[in-house]
Amino acid sequence: MIVFLKPRWNSRCSNLSTTGEWFLREVLPPSGGAWGGIGIDDAFLRFLKNVFGTRVMKDLKLTELEDYTELIHEFEVKKRSIKTDTTTDIVITMPVGLMNIIKKHCGGIDAAIKKSQYSDSISVSGQQKICVNPQKFRDLFKPTINSLLKHLEQLFRHPKVSDIQHIIMVGGFSECELVQRAMKDKFPKKKIIIPEEAGIAVLKGAVIYGHQPKLIRSEIIESTKLFVVAIDFGTTYSGYAFSAKSSPNEIYTCEWQKSTLLSAKAPTSVLLDKEKVYGFWI
């Protein structure tokens, strides 16, 4: 069995096999690169930079951080909704702060789009929305997906995993239909498994691992916790999960409220030990 851990920061491939006692054993060390949702975010931001200019995007991040985060969250929703057969334009709501900066540097959003190389791929709807051609939107995913597929193709040449038949995809990036379709097309003879709530599967797995660190026979970590907590800071999902030591199967998830914490990009989930010290990086 091969498990691909796909948090927002990058795509990691963990190669695991089952033992006769229903434990997992790490066959190869995790590998991967910046081929997760963060790569798509970067492509989207470069796209906006090409349309509105470097000064606009730089000012947005420096002076309107909350609007910058709001824009990324808006893009997250659209990322998950795009499909291989989508024919209608992708509508993106632009934050007020970004609109003001565009007006300051470009004279307005209409003027900026007309001057850009993407004038035939973008249109304006109302006062705060842009409509992106669906094929142009899909193009943002191609470099990241192609890099991921190339890595997996090379990985499957390794003798220890060449006979892998099942692929489990977890993490927010795995919920994207474009990624799912690309995986199925590239590896038609392998069974692709995508669990429910794949976006927070890593977070829940971190909690389970905190209760039973011996489930993965690669490194044994002793633990004496009353509660096991996993925290994930990201723009796909920003929150935490926990369960009582006495009830390890009852895992509760809570999302950070925007008013209390602005989500920040991070590559992993972490566990807290009984002394409230970060540890057990997943």
Q: What is the 3-state secondary structure (H, E, C) of 142-201?
A: HHHHHHHHHHHHHHCCCCCCCCCCEEEEECHHHHCHHHHHHHHHHCCCCEEECCCCHHHH
Mean pLDDT for 258-278 is 43
d(CA 199, CA 107): 39
**At residue 278, does pLDDT exceed 90?**
no
pLDDT at 45: 94
pLDDT at 220: 35
User: Any residues with CB less than 8 A from the CB of 247 and at least 6 apart, and which?
Assistant: none
**At residue 268, does pLDDT exceed 50?**
no
Residue predicted with more confidence, 210 or 88: 88
**32 confidence band (pLDDT: 50, 70, 90):** low
The DSSP secondary-structure symbol of 214 reads G
pLDDT tens sequence across 169-195: 877 788 889 999 999 999 999 888 888
pLDDT at 200: 75
pLDDT at 239: 64
**At residue 257, does pLDDT exceed 80?**
no
**5 confidence band (pLDDT: 50, 70, 90):** very low
With beta carbons less than 8 A apart as the criterion, state whether 169 and 196 touch: no
Name which of 62-71, 95-104, 209-218 the model is least confident about.
209-218
pLDDT tens sequence across 192-206: 888 887 777 777 777
SS3 243: strand
For the record, the structure tokens of 218 come out as 């690669």
Give the residue from 184, 173, 152, 203 showing the smallest Cα distance to 43: 173
Give the rounded distance of the alpha carbon of 24 from its chain centre: 24
pLDDT tens sequence across 110-128: 999 999 999 999 999 988 9
**At residue 141, does pLDDT exceed 50?**
yes
Give the rounded distance of the alpha carbon of 72 from its chain centre: 12
With beta carbons less than 8 A apart as the criterion, state whether 39 and 141 touch: no
